[in-house]
């Protein structure tokens, strides 16, 4: 039975979520190796997090001892703190690099797969690898722009909220609420730019600018979708933390980590499917035509016969 995604009226949040599920069915066997790679990536990341977790906890204890006014400090406390900082920086750098590269590859492969499924385009494994090889640099640069923007805004907003909290706690809560909404909106645009850089010819600043245009008139749907995706992501990591704290047996902790890794991998792919559907929905809301697996930046109403 063929699955169709053509609709003339704008889709609501439930319809977008349902169509994203249908993309999994339509993607077929091409999605299975991507899912397995996603599970492997999540498992490696969770093992990294689990191995690095004792370092910041030990570092916090040592810093608290250093800040206390006592004459009974260990003589080698400061060098130990420096060594912990070096170890944590080295581990964190490896984790960040692996997370960025694996996320980039999985994003490229899943977006191309879901875009082909959405537009009824035949895509073979060799064709998928060819598309990844053709667009990896442009998508990587676009993702780096988004990462730098996210880090910069996070630092500025944290400084602003902390400064306001010194004067008035209610105002800091009010500011934090608006900053959260702003982050959800900007995150929607950044994730949209990743889809744009993958399936279109524009990238970098051009993809970020095009995402702004496509989000016009679609802000509420986009923010709602991003809020749902982020909330579920936080719930997955929260479940892992609770499970690790409750399960004292290492075997149970391992099984808990495996289950959460599978759920996290599936949710990452589903998130890509959601933003792929939302991207095409935004195009249709602006009257832009979709032809095959590529997109043509022409308004339908401007074509006359």
Mean pLDDT of 187-200: 93
For residue 125, is pLDDT > 80? yes
Question: Which one is predicted more confidently, 239 or 146?
Answer: 146
Could you list the residue range(s) of the whole structural domain that residue 258 is in?
13-67+76-135+215-287
Residue 73: the pLDDT is: 64
Give the tens place of pLDDT for each residue, 32-80.
899 999 998 888 887 787 777 777 777 777 777 766 656 666 667 677 7
Q: How many CB atoms lie within 10 A of CB 222?
A: 23
pLDDT band for position 273 (cuts 50, 70, 90): very high
N- to C-terminal Cα separation, the chain: 34
Q: Residue 291 pLDDT more than 60?
A: no
Q: Is 278 exposed, middle or buried (0-12, 13-18, 19+ CB in 10 A)?
A: buried
- What pLDDT is attached to residue 123? 87
Residue 89: pLDDT over 70: yes
Looking at the domain assignment, is residue 131 inside a domain?
Answer: yes
CB 211 within 8 A of CB 192: yes
Q: Which residue has the higher pLDDT, 291 or 67?
A: 67
- The highest-confidence range among 3-17, 91-105, 217-231, 241-255, by mean pLDDT, is 217-231
How many domains are contained in the chain? 1
Query: Quick one: three-class SS letters along the chain?
Result: CCCCCCCCCCCCHHHHHHHHHHHHHHHHHHHHHHHHHHHHHHHHHHHHHHHHCHHHHHHHHHHHHHHCCCCCCCCCHHHHHHHHHHHHHHHHHHHHHHHHHHHHHHHHHHHHHHHHHHCCCCCCHHHHHHHHHHHHHHHHHHHHHHHHHHHHHHHHHHHHHHHHHHHCHHHHHHHHHHHHHHHHHHHHHHHHHHHHHHHCCCCCHHHHHHHHHHHCCCHHHHHHHHHHHHHHHHHHHHHHHHHHHHCCCHHHHHHHHHHHHHHHHHHHHHHHHHHHHHHHHHHHHCCEEEECCEEEEEEHHHCCC
Average pLDDT over residues 114-134: 90
Burial class (CB in 10 A: 0-12, 13-18, 19+), 143: buried
CA distances from residue 151 to 36, 90, 300 in whole angstroms, order as listed: 30, 19, 38
Q: Is the pLDDT of residue 276 over 80?
A: yes
Q: Is the pTM of this model over 0.85?
A: no
Query: pLDDT at position 69, please?
Result: 56
Please check the confidence at residue 155 and state whether its pLDDT lies above 60.
yes
Is residue 303 over pLDDT 50?
no
- Percent of the chain beyond pLDDT 70? 87
Establish if 113 belongs to a structural domain: yes
Residue 205 in any domain: the answer is: no
pLDDT-derived band of residue 96, with 50, 70 and 90 as boundaries?
confident
Structural tokens at position 52: 């690095």
- For residue 71, what are its two tokens? 């004459």
Give the CA-trace dihedral at 116, 117, 121, 122, to 10 degrees: 100
Is residue 118 a part of any domain in this protein? yes
Has residue 152 been placed in a domain? no
Is there a domain that residue 298 lies in?
no
pLDDT value at residue 302: 32
pLDDT band at 292 (very low <50, low <70, confident <90, very high): very low
3: in domain: no
In a domain, 178, yes or no: no
pLDDT of residue 49: 75
> What is the tens place of the pLDDT at every residue in 205-214?
999 999 999 9
Residue 192 contacts residue 215 (beta carbons within 8 Å): yes
Tell me what pLDDT residue 70 has: 60
* Span 86-106, average pLDDT: 86
């Amino acid at each position: 039975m063929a699955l169709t995604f053509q609709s003339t009226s704008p889709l609501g949040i439930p319809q977008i979520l349902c169509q994203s599920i249908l993309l999994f069915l339509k993607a077929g066997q091409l999605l299975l190796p991507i899912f397995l790679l996603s599970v492997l990536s999540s498992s490696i990341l969770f093992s990294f997090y689990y191995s690095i977790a004792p370092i910041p906890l030990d570092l916090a204890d040592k810093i608290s001892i250093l800040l206390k006014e006592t004459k009974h400090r260990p003589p080698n406390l400061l060098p130990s703190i420096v060594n912990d900082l070096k170890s944590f920086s080295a581990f964190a750098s490896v984790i960040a690099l692996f997370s960025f590269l694996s996320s980039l590859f999985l994003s490229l492969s899943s977006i191309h797969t879901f875009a082909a499924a959405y537009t009824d385009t035949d895509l073979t494994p060799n064709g998928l690898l060819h598309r990844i090889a053709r667009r990896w640099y442009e998508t990587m640069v676009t993702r780096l722009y988004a990462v730098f923007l996210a880090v910069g805004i996070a630092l500025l907003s944290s400084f602003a909220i902390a400064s306001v909290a010194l004067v008035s706690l209610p105002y800091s809560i009010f500011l934090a609420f608006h900053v959260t909404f702003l982050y959800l909106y900007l995150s929607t645009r950044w994730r949209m730019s990743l889809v744009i850089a993958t399936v279109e010819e524009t990238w970098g600043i051009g993809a970020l600018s095009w995402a702004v245009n496509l989000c016009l008139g679609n802000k509420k749907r986009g923010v709602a979708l991003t809020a749902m995706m982020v909330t579920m992501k936080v719930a997955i990591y929260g479940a892992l933390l609770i499970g690790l704290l409750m399960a004292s047996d290492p075997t149970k902790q391992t099984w808990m980590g495996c289950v959460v890794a599978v759920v996290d991998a599936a949710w990452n792919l589903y998130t890509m499917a959601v933003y792929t559907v939302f991207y095409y929905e935004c195009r249709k809301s602006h009257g832009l035509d979709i032809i095959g697996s590529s997109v043509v930046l022409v308004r339908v109403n401007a074509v006359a016969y």
